[in-house]
Chain A
Amino acid sequence: MSRLGHILLRLLARWETVLIVAIVGVGIWATKSSPYFLTRSNLLDLVTPYVFIGLMAFGLTFVVIAAEIDISVISTLAVSIVCFARIFESGVNVWLAGLAGLGIATALGLGNGLLVGLLNLPSLAITLGTLAAYGGLAFVVLGGSEASSFPTNYTEIGGGYLWNGQLPVALLVLLGFALVLGLLLHATRFGRYVFTIGSNREAARFSGIPVARVRVTVFALSGFMAGVAGVIYVGNFGSARADAGATSLLDVVTAVVLGGVDIFGGAGSMFGVLLALILVAELRNGMQLVNVAGQTQDIVIGVLLLGAILAGNLIRAAQTNRALAGRLYRRRKEVVGHDQVDSSVPKGLET
């Protein structure tokens, strides 16, 4: 096959391509099934209620690529918005209060990062602990009540619409963060460090990468993104409660895993996570437009996730030119060397 053909094939074998094909496929199905799917207002608005989930998933992407996990993001979001509400209700300017919420979220993420990065404690255990602790803290701050008296000029960021009332501001925020964080992950030295640490932490240390600092930073970044998600949440839903987002952890993790981020670290892309979020939102929207029961929707999303993991493994097996059976059973990451890092490098360039 020609060189061009080879590059095309490599491009085709990328996970993002599969997601795009799936998005188009689901779109065709939804268009055929419902006359209401293919309208401008529906297409533009279908991601809006999931934007806060996507923003948390973007932060989590850095953590997972660094071969760690942060399941405390939903509690971080809750603490940041109840603090924001409390500070705002005490008479502080709404923008300053929002900024304070962001700062608090970043500090909570930093707390996770220091425990994991400096003390070398397992991130699953630490963030399981802070999931509960931060969740409790949110109730201490606001109790069981609900704050909903936010000024409209503020709620516009998460709940406003431009362009004939059809283009949601939240969507622009989501795309903006996808772009900025995508550049941070794929085009900076920090991003390369994250991938290297996720592939092989020991090797990263020996090659002079400030491992502890990078690991602390990814957790702080995850906290910060949970804070941004909180800003959007308050805008979109106009309310702050201690249990806000409490049921959305699975959706956040789904976006990351379906986005092709390797749960063992070292591989993944911001674009993939964005596409996965769009796919899930589109699929749920399509199913709701033909009134598929909520339970059935959950089953479909679950099967999609299983299929994604299976297909992702097959694709990686193909890319690394190893026997299928050997790759379906993943070995410990310490043993795996260069081949995981390579999926972070643009495929066409290395041949």
Chain B
Amino acid sequence: MQRRRLGIVGIIAGLTVLVALAVTLSAGAGTAKKQAGYKIFFLPKTTTIPVFTQNGIGAKLAAKALGDSVTYNGPTTVSGAAQVPFINTAIQQHFNAIVISTPDPAAVAPALKRAAAKGIKVISYDGDTLPSSRTIFVAPTSNALIGASQVEAIGKQIGYSGQIAILSATPTSPNQNTWIKFMKATLKLPKYKNMKLVTTVYGNDDPTDSAKATAGLIQAYPDLKGIISPTTVGIQAAAQELQQENKCSTIKLTGLGLPNDMRKYVKAGCAGAFALWNESDLGYLATYVAHEVLAGKLTGKIGQSFNAGKLGKKTVVVSDGNKPVVVLGPPLVFTPQNIDKYHF
């Protein structure tokens, strides 16, 4: 008898856990608001990095202005394969458009094509997918401008002379690799002939890995003058590591970072200048593009222009060899003088 009773106890325990789970979930899951406008699914690379939260905030602002609704969700790991289930469920929910930034252009392409076959419009932004699987790509700025401005920002701090290194995210990240390519091209200009790029290391967009990679650079290159980290996670970890090792006066830092993340390091003199675009505006613009495509006003023809709300008139162009592209604008450079004007 004891055996039977224990068996039942086991099952009841298992089921209780599951029921509790289901109840918690039901309580947490809100029903989607019914709205008259378009239903747009906004899918970032991951929901765990603050820039994407900013994209989402901008997207919701645009949706509010346009009378559309935006649903923002995505995986917690940076992986194209992990985005696919989200694309599939967006298809099932009959969203009108998917706005996506992906770390893996090809891996999401078949799923996006299935979405397109169901009449869903696909807009990519920040991290592009294959051109054949989206209507328009919304670029934050141009790659050439980023590459040039990063090299100039570090050159200015180190007197255009000495060893520099790059702290990147992952070796397969397409936009990281493109920017690095343009940095290398910029370094060939006569103005930068006394600057030498000694190595590129990878911090996997992980604070601990990035800090370790920075510490490794400090160890391996005693004459290192500057670090460029074109990733928001990397530059913050690098600034923290430089501060901890008391290297802020000898090793200068620039890169792409968020003002809120970098404020204290800029004020402590651990990052003289860094750049980014307004992430909220990027999400705002991508949502406007999605709306205009759904309304039939944009088809991806070069030269088409539209009114992007508070951002003014934008035009569909060819940029960095990609087309059709809508560009947000040149990078925004943050310095100790202007950083307090920005809060994201």
In the assembled complex, the CB of B91 is this many whole angstroms from the nearest CB of chain A, namely 9
Contact with B along A232-261 (1 / 0, CB 8 A): 010011110111111110000000000000
B194 within 8 A of A: no
A120 within 8 A of B: no
A314 touching B92, Cβ below 8 Å: no
At the interface with chain A, which of B11-19, B244-252, B284-292? Answer: B11-19
Residue ID in chain B nearest A297 by CB atoms = B76
B171 touching A310, Cβ below 8 Å: no
B10 within 8 A of A: yes
At the interface with chain A, which of B104-112, B120-128, B146-154, B316-324? Answer: B104-112
Majority SS at the chain A contact face = helix
B104 touching A319, Cβ below 8 Å: no
A90 within 8 A of B: no
Residues of B within 8 Å of A93, CB to CB, are: none
A293 touching B107, Cβ below 8 Å: no
B7 touching A22, Cβ below 8 Å: no
In the assembled complex, the CB of A24 is this many whole angstroms from the nearest CB of chain B, namely 10
CA distance A21 to B80 in the complex (A): 32
Considering the complex, which residues of chain B in the window 115-170 have a beta carbon less than 8 Å from any beta carbon of chain A? 130, 170
B198 within 8 A of A: no
Partner of A294, one of B31, B47, B106, B130: B47
Residues of A within 8 Å of B130, CB to CB, are: 148
Contact with B along A199-234 (1 / 0, CB 8 A): 000000000000000000000000000000000010
In the assembled complex, the CB of B98 is this many whole angstroms from the nearest CB of chain A, namely 13
B78 within 8 A of A: yes
Contact with B along A24-63 (1 / 0, CB 8 A): 0110010011101001011001101110100000000000
A315 touching B14, Cβ below 8 Å: yes
B277 within 8 A of A: no
With A289-B92, A293-B47 as contacts: A247 and B11 at CB distance below 8 Å: no
Partner of B76, one of A25, A243, A294: A294
With A238-B109, A307-B17 as contacts: A287 and B93 at CB distance below 8 Å: no
Residues of A within 8 Å of B84, CB to CB, are: 49, 236-237
A13 touching B10, Cβ below 8 Å: yes
In the assembled complex, the CB of A277 is this many whole angstroms from the nearest CB of chain B, namely 13
A238 touching B10, Cβ below 8 Å: no
In the assembled complex, the CB of A41 is this many whole angstroms from the nearest CB of chain B, namely 7
CA distance A25 to B7 in the complex (A): 20
CA distance A236 to B104 in the complex (A): 13
CA distance A236 to B172 in the complex (A): 20
At the interface with chain A, which of B67-75, B256-264, B304-312? Answer: B67-75
CA distance A324 to B8 in the complex (A): 13
B171 touching A144, Cβ below 8 Å: yes
Residues of A within 8 Å of B31, CB to CB, are: 290
Residues of B within 8 Å of A242, CB to CB, are: 171-172
A172 within 8 A of B: no
With A237-B81, A292-B28, A296-B28 as contacts: A13 and B11 at CB distance below 8 Å: yes
Residue ID in chain B nearest A159 by CB atoms = B110
Partner of A315, one of B10, B75, B76, B77: B10
B25 within 8 A of A: yes
B22 within 8 A of A: yes
With A1-B4, A247-B78 as contacts: A238 and B107 at CB distance below 8 Å: yes
Considering the complex, which residues of chain A in the window 1-23 have a beta carbon less than 8 Å from any beta carbon of chain B? 1, 9-10, 12-13, 17-18, 21-22
Considering the complex, which residues of chain A in the window 79-103 have a beta carbon less than 8 Å from any beta carbon of chain B? none
Residues of A within 8 Å of B174, CB to CB, are: 146
CA distance A290 to B25 in the complex (A): 10
A340 within 8 A of B: no
CA distance A144 to B80 in the complex (A): 15
B14 touching A311, Cβ below 8 Å: yes
Residues of B within 8 Å of A42, CB to CB, are: 89, 92
A239 touching B104, Cβ below 8 Å: yes
CA distance A243 to B71 in the complex (A): 29
Partner of B177, one of A22, A144, A248, A289: A144
Considering the complex, which residues of chain A in the window 311-333 have a beta carbon less than 8 Å from any beta carbon of chain B? 311-312, 314-315, 317-319, 321, 324
Residue ID in chain B nearest A18 by CB atoms = B14
B18 touching A307, Cβ below 8 Å: yes
B7 touching A9, Cβ below 8 Å: yes
A25 touching B109, Cβ below 8 Å: no
A319 touching B7, Cβ below 8 Å: yes
With A295-B48, A314-B10, A314-B13 as contacts: A288 and B73 at CB distance below 8 Å: yes
Residues of B within 8 Å of A324, CB to CB, are: 6
In the assembled complex, the CB of B230 is this many whole angstroms from the nearest CB of chain A, namely 15
CA distance A289 to B81 in the complex (A): 18
CA distance A287 to B171 in the complex (A): 32
Contact with A along B56-98 (1 / 0, CB 8 A): 0000000000000001011111111110111011001110000
CA distance A303 to B81 in the complex (A): 23
Residues of B within 8 Å of A241, CB to CB, are: 104, 107, 172
Considering the complex, which residues of chain A in the window 294-312 have a beta carbon less than 8 Å from any beta carbon of chain B? 294-298, 300, 303-304, 307-308, 310-312
With A49-B85, A49-B88, A307-B17 as contacts: A289 and B109 at CB distance below 8 Å: no
Partner of B2, one of A144, A244, A247, A321: A321
Residues of B within 8 Å of A36, CB to CB, are: 89, 92-94
CA distance A43 to B4 in the complex (A): 36
Nearest 9 pairs between A and B by C-beta?
A311-B14, A239-B106, A318-B6, A307-B17, A148-B106, A315-B10, A314-B10, A237-B107, A13-B7
Q: List 16 A-B contacts (CB under 8 A).
A: A25-B18, A25-B19, A36-B92, A42-B89, A49-B85, A146-B172, A148-B106, A237-B107, A239-B109, A247-B81, A248-B79, A288-B89, A290-B30, A290-B32, A294-B75, A318-B6
Residues of B within 8 A of A (CB): 2-4, 6-11, 13-15, 17-19, 21-22, 24-26, 28-32, 46-48, 71, 73-82, 84-86, 88-89, 92-94, 104-110, 130, 170-172, 174, 177
Known pairs A10-B7, A237-B104, A247-B78 / 8 extra A-B pairs, C-beta < 8 Å:
A144-B171, A237-B107, A241-B107, A247-B79, A287-B25, A295-B47, A304-B17, A311-B14
